[in-house]
Amino acid sequence: MATEDTPLLVADSWLVLDGSVLALDRHVSRFTRSCLETGLAAPEELDRFWREAISALPRTGAWFPRAELAGDPPSLRLRIRPAPPRGEHVRVWVPDAPDPRRSPARKGPDLEALGRLRAEAELHGAQEALLRTADGIVVEAASSSVLWWEDGVLCSPPSEIPALPGTTAALVRDLATAQGIRTARRRRRVEELTGREVWLLNALHGIRLVTGWAGCDATPGSDGHFARWRERVERLRLPLNPPSATRPRQFEVVCG
């Protein structure tokens, strides 16, 4: 039986609300790509895993499942977990230390360290911790991507800085481009975000508006775009395909 302290090599989580999901194809692609990069899972094994995992997902209720490549020897498994409460607003703590991750572009190996950062953020009255480079450039948050607005331009951190390719942030940037809204990659320190509309984005919460900062002198900006964009993204949820016929699964399902 798998346990929480089993070595976690790759992970990916997404929200299921009464059988509907947002951008599941992006999660499948990110997890599959990361697994293939490790050389520890074959393409046909991953294809079968995803077909069977999607079939195993509950079609009623709120769930936050996680696909994992974990263990020694490594194996694929699906962890079916109740969804935590969702939020629309977030207060962000800015640690003094730079981004502590060893594998910033792959979700999984650093989840424990990022969990400790979020726990420390709570001691500062915040729900998230900002990650920065050694010279103070904004990268992302412990469990969220960061986007912000500058004079009608939707901005994100520079692509050359190693970071997790966030599925929700990528979806929002693609939507903006499709609607003729300019997007840009910009190097910004947290003090340069003061007075600006800043969002944190992830699969659980969708878009959250930053309404406060801790550990720095930045002040939150207005919410001129937030409500419209949050609703727009939530409308993109799609129903899962009906479950396929029951058959023996080739991977472990962990509930809870």
User: Does 3 reside within a domain?
Assistant: no
Digit-by-digit pLDDT tens for the chain (256 residues) are: 344 557 899 999 999 999 999 999 999 999 999 999 999 999 999 999 999 999 999 999 999 999 999 999 999 999 999 999 999 999 999 999 999 999 999 999 999 999 999 999 999 999 999 999 999 999 999 999 999 999 999 999 999 999 999 999 999 999 999 999 999 999 999 999 999 999 999 999 999 999 999 999 999 999 999 999 999 999 999 999 877 655 555 667 777 6
In a shared domain, residues 48 and 151: no
Beta strands 198-202 and 138-141 are unpaired
In a shared domain, residues 119 and 183: yes
CB atoms within 10 A of CB 104: 17
* Domain harbouring 123, CATH code: 3.20.10.10
CB atoms within 10 A of CB 236: 13
Predicted structure pTM score: 0.93
Beta strands 252-255 and 75-80 are parallel
CA pair distance 230, 22, nearest whole angstrom: 12
Distance of CA 73 to the CA centre of its chain: 26
Task: State the residue range of the domain holding 102.
Answer: 89-234
CB atoms within 10 A of CB 58: 16
Number of domains in the chain: 2
Residue 214, beta-bridge partner list? 93
End-to-end CA distance of the chain: 13
In this structure, are residues 18 and 28 in contact, taking their beta carbons and an 8 Å threshold? no
Half-sphere exposure of 107 (CA within 13 A, CB side): 26
